[in-house]
Amino acid sequence: MANVTLRSVRKTYPGGFEAIKGVDVDVGDGQFCVLVGPSGCGKSTLLRMVAGLETVTGGEIDIGGRVVNGIEPADRDIAMVFQNYALYPHMSVYNNMAYGLRNRGMAEAEIKTRVEEAARVLELSAMLERKPRQLSGGQRQRVAMGRAIVRQPKVFLFDEPLSNLDAKLRIAMRVEIRKLQRRLNTTSIYVTHDQLEAMTLADILVVMNGGQVEQVGNPLEIYEKPATTFVASFIGAPPMNLMSTRPEEIRSQLAGSNAADAGIVGIRPEDFVITDETPAGGVALPLTVEAIERVGAETFVYGSREQEDQRVAATPGELPPGEVIVRIPGTQAPAIGARIRVAAVRAKLHLFSGDGRKRIET
Amino acid sequence: MQKQAIFQSKLLPYALVAPQLAIVLIFFYWPALQAVIQSFLLQDAFGLSTSFVWFDNYLELFRERAYFEAILRTFFFSFAIAVSSLSFALLLAVMADKPLRGSMLYRTLLIWPYAVAPPVVGVLWIFMLHPSLGVLSRYLRALGIDWNPLLDGDQAAALIILAAAWKQISYNFLFFLAGLQSIPRSVIEAAAIDGARPMRRFWTVIFPLLSPTIFFLLVVNIVYAFFDTFGIIDTMTRGGPGKSTETLVYKVYTDGLLGGNLGSSAAQSVILMIMVIVLTGIQFRFVERKVTY
């Protein structure tokens, strides 16, 4: 049981490349923290620094009240699950799980109890004598989990543990990991690039971009109040519609409030309704339907605005300029080429400064 | 996709493999067959008459004490050369695998000795360790060691093993380095997190994962020590002093070409041939099974 605190942690490689540019995160005891961001944002590097596999070039990493900067991975009392599982291919499942305990000089009887308990929890009891190559991807994943839990460490670290599994298994394992973590109540840090995984697993979500933290908070809070346009478009699928407020069409609708300072307005696809009315202080847009995706419960409408605007601050998953996604109930489906009018109420607008770095509260 | 090529004519495929077959037949099977035939023949001292003697050459060989001594000596040399060059190469490979400044330079330099021909290796070591010319011999004598491999059989054997092992280190190093680099970094990191110190990590994770490479190299090194040390022995000791560095292959040469006993020499060649077939067989069996861990 421990909390993990990162205090202005930095990582600069010998070549001068700054991978982590000062990160402050505080993960409370027993909390599940997810680091999410696009590839190359430094989330894995940060996790490896917590594990002790990468050196820390600035700031402090504190696990359970002890600064661990100069401490070997073995002595940090952490366990890590790797993306490729990193099982020992020459050892049986049992020995894979027992290895860490043997290295710490635990009695063989106690090892047996712990490994068998972990195997029971993870439904691996029938496979203890098998070698990793005789297991399926999901089973290997569970052995990697087992290897972590038998140690009963202070902190679990997960480095994209589900990215090698197929979609169905990924969802099942995601639920498993969450249940297991709740039951063991062990502080966990989990790295992923999948925003859905991040949303569903996290107690605390840390959205990273370019070696910096964009936003830290409760996942729903982040979804509802993204701090930057990067977070707005990264969290949520399909991404938030981000539009410049410069075109007269939008500017006139936002007039008469602090929204006038905003350079960018964001509206989530589900916050639009097809209507002819214009809500007071909200935004209404005429669209031409370009494409439709019907996925059953909902329909995604891809529309283009009459008035093209220039690109807003570059963000991942960004829509082409002038394109708007609208999510409507699966029962509706406008015809392609139809001209519709969509509107979002004032409370559903997200306003950002012109560079996308600052959220403006309405 | 069609895997099998289709030929219109039945002769064309045979014509295409004919050059390769001809080379194999003329340069490998023909001499081998000659050796087998020769091993059943006995010539008189002047080479004037030849008689067919069935297995007499072989029986003679097995009655000869010197032959058994040569077998034992060869096994000992193989073992010593394989173990010393493998362990030293592994040590170097582990060092070179570390992220060091200029590691590419080390790696390249460590591979160079492989390009040196065996007789040249012999000459190089002679220059260093010859009792009167050798650079190192002076220091050895200064240390109070009575160093004279030209007279002392054990020292001569040590010299041969040293030179032969040295030459093979490069080859082994190359394979070990490749083997080490094919071990996923994350497995070693997992072991580090699992509380294994570097030495324990090496013996419980890295070494077992290298075992297929080690086995492969063991066979290769034994074959090398058996057959390819001829050049080194010939330049350094010529099998002497006495017969203290005469291996099976060198004995084939001395008995046949120097001693003129072609029958016995051929019989020895045939025995060596059988040995190499067995060794290759073992290797193929295990290499085909691929995984030994």
pLDDT category, B119, cuts 50, 70, 90? Answer: confident
Distance, in angstroms, between A98 CA and closest chain B CA? 10
Nearest C-alpha neighbor of A233 from the set A195, A290, A277, A177: A195
Give yes or no for residue B53 having a pLDDT over 80.
no
Least CB–CB distance from B192: residue in A73, A88, A104: A73
Locate the domains of chain A by residue range. 4-229, 234-360
Nearest C-alpha neighbor of B81 from the set B245, B250, B229: B229
Give yes or no for residue A176 having a pLDDT over 90.
no
Query: Checking DSSP bridges between strand A204-209 and strand A32-36, what pairing results, if any?
Result: parallel
**Which position has the token pair 């605390």?**
A204
d(CA A61, CA A44): 15
List b or e across B148-167, with b for residues whose CB sees 16 or more CB atoms inside 10 angstroms: bbeebbebbbebbbbbbbbb
Give yes or no for residue A178 having a pLDDT over 60.
yes
Helix axes B118-129, B135-142, angle to 10 degrees: 40
Query: Checking DSSP bridges between strand A78-81 and strand A155-159, what pairing results, if any?
Result: parallel
Interface predicted TM-score (ipTM) of this complex, two decimals: 0.81
Distance, in angstroms, between A151 CA and closest chain B CA? 9
As a CATH number, domain A4-229 is: 3.40.50.300
Nearest C-alpha neighbor of A138 from the set A149, A127, A129: A127
d(CA B195, CA B192): 5
CATH pick for A234-360 out of 2.40.50.140, 2.40.100.10, 3.40.980.10, 2.60.120.260: 2.40.50.140
pLDDT at B2: 56
Which of A88, A134, A158 has the most B C-beta neighbours within 10 Å, making it the best mutation to test the interface with B?
A88
Cis before B241? omega within 30: yes
Q: What are the percentages of helix, strand and coil residues in chain A, rounded to 5? A: 30, 30, 40
**pTM score, whole prediction:** 0.78
Nearest chain B residue to A78 by CA distance is: B193
Whether B167 and B236 have beta carbons less than 8 Å apart is answered as no
pLDDT tens-digit map of A181-202:
888 899 999 999 888 889 999 9
pLDDT at A313: 45
Nearest C-alpha neighbor of B217 from the set B287, B272, B117, B122: B287
Q: What element of type H or E holds A62?
A: strand A58-63
pLDDT averaged over every residue in chain B: 82
d(CA B33, CA B101): 55
A65 contacts chain B (CB < 8 A): no
Which of A13, A47, A54, A90 has the most B C-beta neighbours within 10 Å, making it the best mutation to test the interface with B?
A90
- Partner-chain contact B190 A89, CB within 8 Å: no
A72 contacts chain B (CB < 8 A): yes
- Partner-chain contact B186 A83, CB within 8 Å: yes
Domains in chain B, start-ordered, CATH in brackets? 64-289 (1.10.3720.10)
